[in-house]
């Protein structure tokens, strides 16, 4: 047996039981390990889906250019698909993203433009604005806009949700995912709740993001926004893909707790993952502690990406110490 291209290996990622970091719980806590995708992240799913849907709708023609604002992983998914399908790529990202992510995008032939983090989303220098401007200036270009593109949510409705349902044999009771563009948490939740309306969906947000306050009050409060270092989750906008009606609770996690859990997952579970994965697990365990999570419950947590993106940051003792994130035992 063989695959016709690397794109055929996307999806069907494994569920792995968390043992040591979740030993206090009687219920089953499972991680869906998305670094088994060829681009080592959950975003491979939407990269392929957005391009395929754009081709079907005639939004891009052969030899065209894909332009997207990304924290790195969506760019990787798009770049993989573009490499196979023959498109060029230009990505905009923020200066808080790890150098490893940027180097990986360039290794796949993409052009990467670095934009400042600490500007308003509608500022001409923001990575959102620069991507939009370039898509208007460059002929035969396609701007997927993962934040508002329904193909993002649909990819998870069609793949991630059914995989979790089948892998748990319909026994999943809790679903946990980080809240970034909204596609992963919303699309998967929609599918799972259609199978069993009692399944609880817990979104994990980063301190400094607007999501938790918006979920609880329905109000967009700019005062909630402040800089944070966890990549890939939290927002200073409300994307169209974020469907708050599909969430049961939102847990907010700070950088220190996220990064310490990330390192624990590597040292105690052998899961070499990224910072948003640590945030998701920390938030999931906090939820389980504060709610009725019993021996018959089965929780599935999405671990979005690989630790290879963060060797110079989260897995670097000097960087962690500089920011005051090292655990006292370290």
* Active site positions, annotated: 43
Dihedral in degrees, nearest 10, Cα atoms 53, 58, 60, 62: 110
- Pairing state of beta strands 298-303 and 174-178? parallel
CB 182 within 8 A of CB 208: no
Burial code (b: 16+ CB inside 10 Å, e: under 16) for 255-267 equals bbbbbbbbbbbbe
Alpha helices in the chain (DSSP H): 43-56, 73-85, 99-107, 127-137, 150-155, 161-167, 183-195, 211-217, 255-269, 275-290, 317-322
Residue 301 is classified by DSSP as E
CB 126 within 8 A of CB 120: yes
Please give the structure tokens belonging to residue 151. Answer: 């193909």
Q: What count of other Cβ atoms lies within 10 Å of the Cβ of residue 327? A: 12
Asked whether the CA dihedral 279, 42, 12, 104 is positive or negative, the reply is negative
Interatomic CA distance for residues 51 and 254, integer angstroms = 34
DSSP helix/strand/coil, 36: helix
Q: What count of other Cβ atoms lies within 10 Å of the Cβ of residue 139? A: 7
Which one, of 89, 90, 109, 107, lies nearest residue 99 by Cα? Answer: 107
Measuring CA to CA, how many Å separate 191 from each of 178, 182, 308, 312?
17, 14, 30, 37
């Amino acid at each position: 047996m063989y695959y016709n291209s690397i794109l055929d290996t996307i999806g069907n990622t494994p569920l792995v039981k968390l043992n040591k970091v979740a030993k206090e719980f009687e219920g089953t806590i499972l991680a869906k390990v998305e670094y088994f995708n060829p681009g080592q992240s959950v975003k491979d799913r939407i990269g392929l889906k957005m391009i395929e849907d754009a081709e079907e709708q005639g939004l891009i023609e052969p030899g065209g250019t894909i332009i997207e604002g990304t924290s790195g992983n969506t760019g990787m998914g798009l770049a993989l698909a573009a490499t196979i399908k023959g498109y060029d790529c230009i990505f905009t990202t923020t200066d808080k993203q790890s150098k490893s992510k940027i180097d990986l995008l360039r290794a796949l032939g993409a052009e990467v433009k670095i934009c400042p983090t600490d500007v308003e989303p509608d500022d001409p220098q923001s990575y959102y604005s620069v991507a939009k401007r370039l898509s208007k200036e460059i002929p035969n270009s396609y701007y997927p806009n993962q934040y508002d593109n329904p193909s993002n949510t649909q990819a998870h409705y069609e793949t991630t949700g059914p995989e979790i349902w089948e892998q748990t044999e319909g026994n999943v009771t809790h679903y946990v995912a980080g809240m970034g563009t909204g596609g992963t948490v919303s699309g998967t939740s929609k599918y799972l709740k259609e199978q069993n309306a009692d399944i609880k969906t817990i979104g994990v947000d980063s301190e400094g993001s607007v999501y938790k306050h918006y979920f609880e009050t329905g109000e967009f409060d700019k005062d909630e926004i402040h800089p944070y270092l966890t990549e890939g989750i939290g927002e200073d906008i409300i994307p169209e893909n974020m469907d708050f009606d599909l969430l049961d609770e939102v847990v907010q996690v700070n950088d220190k707790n996220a990064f310490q859990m990330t390192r624990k997952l590597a040292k105690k579970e052998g899961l070499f993952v990224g910072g948003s994965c640590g945030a998701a697990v920390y938030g999931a365990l906090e939820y389980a502690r504060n709610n009725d999570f019993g021996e018959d419950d089965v929780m599935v947590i999405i671990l979005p990406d690989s630790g290879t993106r963060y060797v110079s940051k989260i897995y670097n003792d000097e960087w962690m110490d500089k920011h005051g994130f090292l655990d006292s035992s370290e």
